[in-house]
Amino acid sequence: MPVDVVFLEPCFPANQREFVRALHAVGARVTGIGERPKEALDPELRHWLSHYEQVGNVTDADQVERVVRRLQSAVRFDRLEAVVEAHVLSAATVRERCGIAGTSVHTTFLCRDKPSMKEALRKAGIPCAQSIGSDDRKEIHDFAAQVGFPLIVKPRDAAGASGTHRVTNTSELDAALTSAGLDRGASVAVEEFIEGHEGFYDTLTIDGRVAHDFVSHYYPNVLEAMRTRWISPQFIATNRVDSAAGYQELKDMGRRVIEALGIGTSATHMEWFYGPKGLKFSEIGCRPPGVRAWDLYAAGNDIDIYREWAMAVVHGRTSQTLSRRQAAGIIALRPDRDGHISHYDGLDAVRDRYGAHLLDWHLPSPGTPTQPVEAGYMANAWVRMKHPDYDTLRGMLDFVGQTLKVRAR
């Protein structure tokens, strides 16, 4: 019998269509629910979908539920999937209301609400930064007096570095709390600043068991990268996950996090720090990583990672073996000023030296408006590369950052 899967928002962002393609490829019948009219879907996407429904807002669980309940009169849905952070809570809510398998509301909440997440993990003995979630300024000040500065202030359900501030004194803390909307009733997450190198541990998990896993490293840490124009930040997916002994502690911690949060069959994205206080868990998303990190995993391991995800969701197993053959990474290239891109310096030198190792790149055409630094790794120009040796790849990406310059006016 075919497996019927509801997939939230098949059109945007652009790589959403890869999940639909993969579900169709492994034999699922896919019903898409999205915000665009059906006419906006390209012919290939329409072919992969057995049915499509438009709603005003896929993050509104009531809207999605009305569509799903209407369709359930004719179809028994086996799974309801969402892979974007902003969509996962809506998806979990509709699953529970409509009796569809998948990640629970409780687990989804814990994976989004940073203070609750860390409280649950500390109870499970997993080392985390001290933290508090509060809408009370005095309570936050008391926490700051107890823990000491610096501190991190962020929205309780933040993804990446969005809305995140590092504060070093009481004045900066108050300014960050005001910016976060504390005086308008918002509750924020405040946590101990952990010194150390930052990276992420990502998995494809089936019934609570890690089927595939990947480790990436940030250079520099995200908060610095998202605040500093002259830095060309990068992250690299290592191919040493199984061969370097130091990763075993990270793998063990990741498995304990999955168990503690009750994650069944899902992609996961976990961030971590390693420094003077040892290995510390940072946060988790119960969905794939952003910034198209999965493309790097696929390139480095000679797999169709979207198909592996679909196999896990539809058939409860994977079908490919990770080769760990190459490390793969991305470097973000910032324009030298805000404005409009005028030209690029150093492009020929990069192509001449490392053309064989280029995966792909994005170099917006002259005249394109620039995006702010804090908009992320793929907001402006970027280059992705691969190489069998991790350290060599780091040097290659450094060369790109030093040589290829994005000029604006």
Q: Which residue has the tokens 């150093």?
A: 346
Q: Could you give the CA distance from residue 265 to residue 89 in angstroms, rounded to a whole number?
A: 16
Contact between 254 and 270 (Cβ < 8 Å): yes
Q: How far is CA 60 from the centre of its chain?
A: 21
Percent of the chain whose predicted confidence (pLDDT) is above 90? 83
Residue spans per domain, the chain: 4-102, 130-192, 197-408
Helix (H) or strand (E) holding 177: helix 170-179
Mean per-residue pLDDT for 387-395?
Answer: 98
CA dihedral 173, 175, 177, 179 (to 10 degrees): -150
Structure tokens at 252: 């063990």
Residue 161 has pLDDT above 70, yes or no: no
Q: Could you give the CA distance from residue 160 to residue 65 in angstroms, rounded to a whole number?
A: 28
Q: What is the mean pLDDT of the chain?
A: 94
Q: Provide the H-helix boundaries in 99-164.
A: 105-112, 114-123, 137-147
What is the fold, at CATH topology level, of the domain defined by 130-192? Answer: Dna Ligase; domain 1 (3.30.1490)
Describe the chain by its helix, strand, coil percentages, rounded to 5: 40, 30, 35
Residue 165 has pLDDT above 80, yes or no: yes
Residue 148 has pLDDT above 60, yes or no: yes
Percent of the chain whose predicted confidence (pLDDT) is above 70? 99
Nearest to 94 by CA among 117, 50, 64, 73: 64
What is the fold, at CATH topology level, of the domain defined by 4-102? Answer: Rossmann fold (3.40.50)
Q: Does domain 197-408 have CATH number 3.65.10.10?
A: no
**Res 227: pLDDT:** 81
Q: Could you give the CA distance from residue 383 to residue 354 in angstroms, rounded to a whole number?
A: 11
Decide the pairing of beta strands 29-34 and 49-54.
parallel
Q: Which residue has the tokens 């949060």?
A: 261
Residue 25 has pLDDT above 80, yes or no: yes
Nearest to 199 by CA among 162, 251, 163, 154: 251
Residue 113 has pLDDT above 70, yes or no: yes
Contact between 127 and 278 (Cβ < 8 Å): yes
DSSP per-residue string spanning 279-336: EEEEEEESS--STTHHHHHHHHHTS-HHHHHHHHHHHSS---------EEEEEEE-BS
Nearest to 351 by CA among 316, 383, 328: 383
Mean per-residue pLDDT for 109-120?
Answer: 92
Contact between 196 and 224 (Cβ < 8 Å): no
**Res 245: pLDDT:** 83
Model pLDDT for residues 59-99, shown as the tens digit of each residue? 999 999 999 999 999 999 999 999 999 999 999 999 999 99
Contact between 8 and 58 (Cβ < 8 Å): yes
Model pLDDT for residues 183-225, shown as the tens digit of each residue? 888 888 898 888 899 999 999 999 999 999 999 999 999 888 8
Structure tokens at 149: 């500065």
Q: How confident is the model at residue 162 (pLDDT cuts 50, 70, 90)?
A: low
The residue length of the chain stands at 409
DSSP character at residue 101: B
**Res 182: pLDDT:** 85
Give backbone dihedrals phi and psi of 216, rounded to 5 degrees, phi first: -130, 155
